Amino acid sequence: SQKIEQNSEALNIQEGKTATLTCNYTNYSPAYLQWYRQDPGRGPVFLLLIRENEKEKRKERLKVTFDTTLKQSLFHITASQPADSATYLCALGDGGFKTIFGAGTRLFVKA
């Protein structure tokens, strides 16, 4: 069955460092991959989308890579800030209406 794996352990980093989150998937050929941010008790907020034919996408302090051979995406936050502390969700889609979400990785940025 289709599966998305994100590190279930929380990631703790110091302010100013780069946070790197991983998303691995199996039994799926996605047309695109999305990253969302979710704060406690709130709905997710869209951050970035990268398509299968793209290797890297950037938006301000965010960078996403997508390796369809390794079936992996890396999500980087450079110059991290305490305000970046949240849960980050990876999501895959095949171009239709259904999107598969990972369980997310919790990020804590210490001042």
Partner 1 sequence: DGGITQSPKYLFRKEGQNVTLSCEQNLNHDAMYWYRQDPGQGLRLIYYSQIVNDFQKGDIAEGYSVSREKKESFPLTVTSAQKNPTAFYLCASSSGTGDNEQFFGPGTRLTVL
Closer residue to partner 1 in complex, CB, 4/86: 4
Closer residue to partner 1 in complex, CB, 4/107: 4
Distance linking the first and last C-alpha atoms of the chain = 41
Instruction: Work out whether 53 is an interface residue with partner 1 (CB under 8 A).
Output: no
CB 94 within 8 A of CB 31: yes
Nearest distance, CB of residue 56 and partner 1, angstroms? 17
Sign of the Cα pseudo-torsion (61, 67, 73, 74, in order): negative
Instruction: Work out whether 28 is an interface residue with partner 1 (CB under 8 A).
Output: no
Nearest distance, CB of residue 47 and partner 1, angstroms? 9
CA 67: distance to chain centroid? 13
Closer residue to partner 1 in complex, CB, 101/108: 101
Burial class (CB in 10 A: 0-12, 13-18, 19+), 21: buried
Query: What is the contact surface with partner 1 in residues (CB under 8 A)?
Result: 4, 8, 31-32, 34, 41-46, 49, 51, 89, 93-104
